Structure 1
Amino acid sequence: MSERFAEVDKLRAERAIHRAVTCRRSGDVLRRIEGVVLDAVASLSRDAAPALALQNRSRWDNVSFDSSVGLHVTGDVMVTSVRSDCVSSVNRFALILKVLSTIYKLVLSDSYATKRDIYYNDPQLFGSQKTVDSIVDDISCMLKVPRRSLHVLATSKGLISGDLCYLEEDGTRVDCSSSSLAVPVSSNVGNITNIVSSAKFVLIVEKDATFQRLLDDDFCTKLSPCIMITGKGVPDVSSRQMVRKLWDTLHIPVFALVDADPHVHLVVCVFSSQSMSFEAHSLTVPSVLWLGLLPSDIERLRVPQDALIPFTLRDERKLRSLRSRPYTACQPAWDREMDIMQTGKKKAEIQSLTFIAPEFLTRVYLPNKLRYGGWI
């Protein structure tokens, strides 16, 4: 009984510390928003048009690659001025102030909203969900605070399963160990606590269909205790935050299972994405290992030609673009795989392994990969 009370006291203490840290961060965010508004008022008092300086997140020369962090914003960043007296930017200026006002109210009241909530609060004003998404990211970058500190959440599309338990912010205990059902990734990853796991590794699975196949085959328990997560394609922010949180907390390797395709190769690279490089420390896992499907596997396993897909001109352009990016020089193994892809001008989906045998992926391919690497 005394052990139970001690555990309760520990949990209360952790929550109290978490609340104190959250309050301190909230106060900082409020002050930064007030600073933006005061700068605008000061401009008006001088009969000058207010303007906002936003970091240009679409330029590669604004980011650099560090093997311990991933892509991150450089010290000398080019900025774009969003002016209130310019026809081309006045509308965006007004929308940014509108979203800043919403964020201020959320932080002040310690409540949360999704980006979708903000959009549907006035869809005619914003025009599209994409506009809201971009503005929230710009504000996060402008204020130099993580997006979770803005109390704006992204609607999660990811799923997670395996040897993992944790507590949501409201105290709900989440158990991901069911062999037949996956759990939706939390929309508020930053506030989950008490992560408990005996997993040996995290496996990022690109496609939901492959994830479900591994789930049906009870992959997480048959081979070795592990955690599987899918973003159902390009991973959303919540899925990326979850992978980073698991990596920071559990200190276990992270693998990626994606198609041998120059476009979805970005599913691995997006964990160090250009547009979100200002949040590298909460989103990126620079040590992600590309487990498969590798272009070299296509040759080595003699995947039938019928299962391969010829390159298009768009594929070739994408591959050239990938090879010019800053992180490829730090990943010689990836570069060799892209060499093979460029020479063969073929791509393949993970499902192509079923042409070898229906259960080849779960019974042969993944077990051998993990055993050869010494991970199980």
Structure 2
Amino acid sequence: MSEQLAEVDRLRASLLSKPRVSDPPLPDGGEITGEDVLFRIEHMVQSVVGSLSAGEAPALVIRNRALWSNIRFDDSIGLQTVSDSTVTTVRSDCSSSVARFALTLKLLSVIYKLVQSNTYATKRDIYYNDTQLFGSQRTVDLIVDDISCMLRVPRRGLHVLATSKGFITGDLCYTEEDGSRVNCESSSTPILVSSNVCGIKNIVSSAKFILIVEKDATFQRLLDDDFCTKLAPCIMITGKGVPDVNSRLMVRKLWDSLLIPVFALVDADPHGIEIMCIYKYGSLSMSFEAHNLTVPAVMWLGLLPSDIERLNVPKDALIPFTKTDHSKLNSLQKRPYITSQPLWEKEMELMLKWKLKAEIQSLTSIAPDFLTRVYLPNKLHYGGWI
């Protein structure tokens, strides 16, 4: 309890000179200024101070980001948190939640100072500033997302950035917020996706399409084969598996700026399909920020389960389904967006019928360069994209 009271005291001083408000407007969407963020944090802390002054145990109310029942689907945006979501109450007088309560106040204090001083920090910076207090990086990550959801402010609006893991390459140049110019086609090595995607400006590209690649290994193979220039000028990006927020922000930024087709190249398995769905429709835990992260125009280029039969991929290159695969596929088939994709449903039915999956690399069993020389060119030519 001492930790949470200390955090309240640190923020109390900034509130004493401000008029008390009972129910400030917290509009969703639109441009959110630093003053808006400070105002929302102050209102939250005023509520805590008010409870303490009344001799009551303060509590924080957080939308539950782990329930599909809290989600609605809009095919023009993706997964969105419903306004009447089930909530979790984080109480200061409960042994199971008091630590979370105190850490949330601590992070609110950190965020308040960042916004007030117009400076930025990564989640990693915040964690390593007091590793003993937070215990793990995951704790910081989860609470920052909780705060973003509670305040209805995108993470960048909190001045908290995430360390990127994704790579990008191809016909693309842009300027970072600090003024540095980035040329993604000037080197044989890919560029790390910016940790401040929202600050990118002056995007220049003659790319015909954007290709999202699930795996780093496939991305590197396409890079080695000079795929971005041999077939048609394009941009390739990989989140190296399940994409981080910065990779998703980058795809959305490029789609908004360039208005070109976006394709997904993923394994023909439930995990690959889910990764594509995260780019296209968003994730359950980040549904409150779908309008910034999703690209509903993403198209499934491959690898399709039907391609396995059509191309006569050797049986020894295929992988039998596991219980985890069955469970993941059953979960996907129940997702709210699947009914809007009848062709996807057919592909998943084939996968379930055969009880087999295939990685993109299985195409090398046909020919070492089959992916770049035959498969992708035919897919893109047949669709009329190049």
Range class of TM-score, shorter chain = over 0.9
Query: Which residue of 2 is the match for residue 348 of structure 1?
Result: 358
Equivalent of 1:108, from 98, 106, 116? 116
Q: CA RMSD in A?
A: 1.2
Match of 2:229 among 218, 221, 235: 221
Find the counterpart in structure 1 of residue 153 from structure 2: 145
Structure 1 unaligned segments of length 5 or more: list them: 1-21
In 2, the alpha carbon distance for the partners of 1:76 and 1:102 equals 29
The letter of the residue matching 2:320 is P
Alignment of 1:119-198 (within 5 A): 119-178=127-186, 180-198=188-206
How far has the Cα of 1:309 moved from its partner? 0.4
Amino acid at match of 1:212: Q
**Is residue 285 from structure 1 mapped to residue 295 from structure 2 by the alignment?**
yes
Deviation at 1:263, TM superposition (A): 1.8
Identity among equivalent pairs (%): 72
Q: Which of 17, 27, 39 is residue 31 of structure 1 equivalent to?
A: 39
Deviation, 1:123, is 1.1
Residue among 201, 204, 207 paired with 1:199: 207
* Structure 2 spans left out of the alignment, 5+ residues: 1-29
Mark the CA change 1:98 to 1:305 in structure 2 (over 3 Å): closer, same or farther.
same
Counterpart mapping for 1:195-344 below 5 A: 195-271=203-279, 272-344=282-354
Task: Letter of the 2:98 partner, please give it.
Answer: V
Out of 89, 92, 108, the position equivalent to 1:84 is: 92
Q: Give the Cα separation in 1 of the matches to 2:261 and 2:294.
A: 13
CA contact (8 A) 1:160 1:229 kept: yes
Letter in 1 for 2:141: D
Partner of 1:372: 382
The alpha-carbon deviation at position 264 of structure 1 amounts to 2.5
Query: Structure 1 stretches (4+) deviating beyond 4 angstroms?
Result: none
CA distance in 1, matches of 2:125, 2:283: 25
Looking at structure 2, the residues matched to 136 and 122 of structure 1 have their Cα atoms a distance apart, in angstroms, of 15
**Equivalents in 2 of 1:252, 1:335: separation in Å?**
26
TM-score, structure 1 normalization? 0.93
Q: 1:314 to 1:86 in 2, by over 3 A?
A: same
Contact 1:179 1:218 in 2 (8 A): no
Counterpart of 1:10 in structure 2 is none
Does the C-alpha gap of structure 1 residues 226 and 87 become closer, same or farther in structure 2, counting only changes over 3 Å? same
Aligned-residue offset at 1:193: 0.6
Deviation per residue, 1:7-57 (Å, 9 max, x gap): xxxxxxxxxxxxxxx996111101111111111001111111111110000
The one-letter amino acid paired with 1:57 is R
Between the two proteins, the alignment pairs up a number of residues equal to 355
Q: How does 1:9-28 map to 2 (within 5 A)?
A: 25-28=33-36
- Give the deviation of 1:75 after TM superposition: 2.3
Contact 2:32–2:153 (8 Å) recurs in 1? no
Deviations 1:256-308 (A, max 9, x none): 10101112221111121111000001111122111111101011101001100
- Report the TM-score, using the length of structure 2 for normalisation: 0.90
Report whether the alignment pairs 1:362 with 2:372. yes
8 Å CA contact retained: 1:161, 1:178: no
Hey, what does 2:8 align to over in structure 1?
none
In structure 2, C-alpha distance between the alignment counterparts of 1:105 and 1:234, rounded to whole Å? 32
